[in-house]
């Protein structure tokens, strides 16, 4: 019996050990399955991360290549710009050697104050004439319509000093290009500006109160204050400039809001017609030194600004031309003689022929004794008949 019991016990122990081995194998298989799953997940994630890293690397490489190309392009543009700047500097240096630098047009407050003080000391004094000119306007002898050119407002004129036949045209009330025709014939016949020479001014003008006198162009510039610019027609450069010594300026003519200073020439030289807030009802007059642009004398005239459209000076007398808001016949209705030899009421009441609109400029030529007028885009010439002031 003892051997049978031992055998049975061995069988039971063998079954138990076999069961435990089976459980262990199952446990190990489960653990290995979990481990394989995690390894598979890690492999998938590693593969995805590797792909994303490779894509990112490719993008960075592409961006770096683009940046490199842009850098080369910018470097080439910078080098090209440097070459152009160097060329421009050489051209500027050459131009500066060919033309003198324009004078400084900054306002010298002390100089301006002294100039105003000197002029005011002689304000409204009787003028000592430089010539024996004693003529006054009797009537408009003839009117000639030359052509229609440019804007409704402008200025055309000749140099009354010397023998030049050139015609100078300022088209508009704000510009920086002056047209120059060689003679009256070319200006009359040519309908376009392609036949005209052009003068490019360093600063734009304002208004229509400019002047050509003694181979120089005198024009009005507004840069905060009003400046009179003296421009050489020979050298095409500014030779002098002056701040007009009048405070709180207003339009000089009631019917021309764009004119604050109207420069005029006569037998005595150059004059400036203007108006200020201090005496806003009437027009003022000043005598200019054409060489230095200094104000020699100033006058408050009795001529009202209201309904005034233009003015000119003949033999030291200011003639103011009046009209109406709805343009009709212009007329000389106020005369102011700075020498005191003629009263305004003694002057003839002169009417201009009926025209198109109103005068934007009227420039008297003392050499030719006629007026160059701009009327609503038409260029006119008025031939004036004169008589002696003593005959009045």
Domain contains 63:
no
276-279's contacts with Cβ under 8 Å and 24+ in sequence apart are 276/246, 276/247, 276/248, 276/249, 276/250, 277/247, 277/248, 277/249, 277/250, 278/247, 278/248
Count of CB atoms situated within 10 Å of the CB of 327: 17
Nearest to 374 by CA among 242, 207, 230: 207
Distance between start and end Cα atoms, the chain: 181
Cα gap 164→159, rounded to integer Å: 7
Domain contains 9:
no
Number of domains in the chain: 1
Structural domain of 261: 127-388
Nearest to 234 by CA among 257, 209, 249, 217: 217
Is residue 175 classed as helix, strand or coil in its secondary structure?
Answer: strand
- HSE-CB at 36 with a 13 A cutoff on CA atoms is 6
Place of tokens 């049978």: 4
Residue 90's pLDDT is 60
Domain contains 31:
no
Domain contains 196:
yes
Structure tokens at 149: 């050119």
Tens-digit pLDDT string for the chain (392 aa): 567 777 777 777 777 777 777 888 888 888 888 888 889 888 888 888 888 888 888 888 888 888 888 888 898 888 888 777 766 766 655 454 444 444 444 445 555 555 555 555 556 676 777 788 889 999 999 999 999 998 999 999 999 998 999 999 999 999 999 999 999 998 988 766 777 899 999 999 999 999 999 999 999 998 878 999 999 999 999 999 998 887 788 999 999 999 999 999 999 999 999 999 988 999 999 999 999 999 999 999 999 999 999 999 999 999 999 998 777 789 999 999 998 888 777 788 899 987 778 899 999 999 999 999 999 999 999 999 999 876 55
CATH number for the domain that contains residue 314 = 2.120.10
Taking phi over 0 as left and psi of -120 to 50 as alpha, with beta for the rest, 162 belongs to left
Domain contains 302:
yes
Phi, psi (5° rounding) for residue 365? -105, 105
Domain contains 202:
yes
Q: 89: Cβ–Cβ under 8 A, 6 or more apart, which residues? A: none
Residue 324's pLDDT is 83
Nearest to 283 by CA among 262, 308, 259, 303: 303
> What does DSSP assign to residue 190?
-
Nearest to 238 by CA among 100, 112, 111: 100
Domain contains 297:
yes
Nearest to 368 by CA among 130, 127, 187, 142: 142
Domain contains 209:
yes
């Amino acid at each position: 019996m003892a051997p049978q019991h031992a055998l049975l016990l061995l069988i039971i122990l063998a079954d138990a050990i076999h069961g435990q081995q089976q459980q262990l194998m199952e446990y190990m298989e489960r653990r290995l399955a979990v481990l394989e799953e995690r390894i598979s997940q890690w492999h998938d994630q590693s593969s995805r991360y590797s792909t994303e890293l490779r894509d990112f690397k490719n993008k960075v490489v592409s961006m770096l290549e683009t940046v490199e190309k842009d850098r080369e392009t910018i470097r080439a543009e910078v080098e090209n710009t440097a070459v152009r700047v160097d060329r421009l500097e050489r051209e500027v240096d050459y131009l500066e050697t060919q033309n003198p630098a324009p004078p400084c047009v900054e306002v010298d407050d002390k100089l301006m104050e002294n100039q105003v003080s000197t002029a005011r000391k002689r304000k409204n004094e009787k003028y000592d004439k430089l010539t024996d000119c004693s003529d006054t306007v009797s009537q408009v002898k003839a009117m000639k319509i030359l052509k229609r050119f440019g804007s409704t407002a402008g200025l055309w004129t000749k140099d009354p000093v010397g023998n030049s036949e050139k015609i100078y045209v300022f088209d508009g009330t704000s510009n920086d290009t002056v047209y120059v025709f060689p003679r009256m014939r070319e200006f009359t016949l040519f309908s376009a500006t392609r036949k005209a020479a052009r003068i490019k001014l360093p600063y734009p003008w304002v208004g229509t109160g400019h002047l050509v006198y003694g181979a120089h162009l005198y024009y009005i510039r507004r840069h905060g204050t009003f400046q009179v610019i003296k421009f050489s027609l020979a050298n095409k450069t500014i030779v002098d400039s002056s701040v007009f010594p009048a405070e709180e300026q207003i339009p000089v003519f009631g019917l021309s809001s764009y004119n604050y200073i109207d420069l005029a020439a006569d037998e005595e030289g150059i004059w400036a017609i203007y108006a200020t807030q201090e005496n806003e009802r009437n027009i003022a007059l000043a005598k200019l030194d054409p060489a230095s642009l200094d104000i020699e004398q100033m006058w408050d005239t009795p001529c009202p600004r209201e309904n005034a459209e233009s003015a000119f000076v003949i033999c030291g007398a200011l003639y103011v031309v009046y009209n109406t808001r709805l343009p009709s016949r212009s007329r000389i209705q106020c005369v102011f003689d700075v020498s005191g030899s003629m009263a305004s009421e003694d002057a003839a009441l002169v009417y201009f022929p009926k025209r198109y609109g109103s005068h934007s400029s009227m420039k008297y030529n003392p050499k030719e004794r006629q007026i160059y007028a701009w009327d609503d885009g038409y260029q006119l010439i008025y031939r004036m008949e004169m008589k002696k002031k003593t005959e009045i």
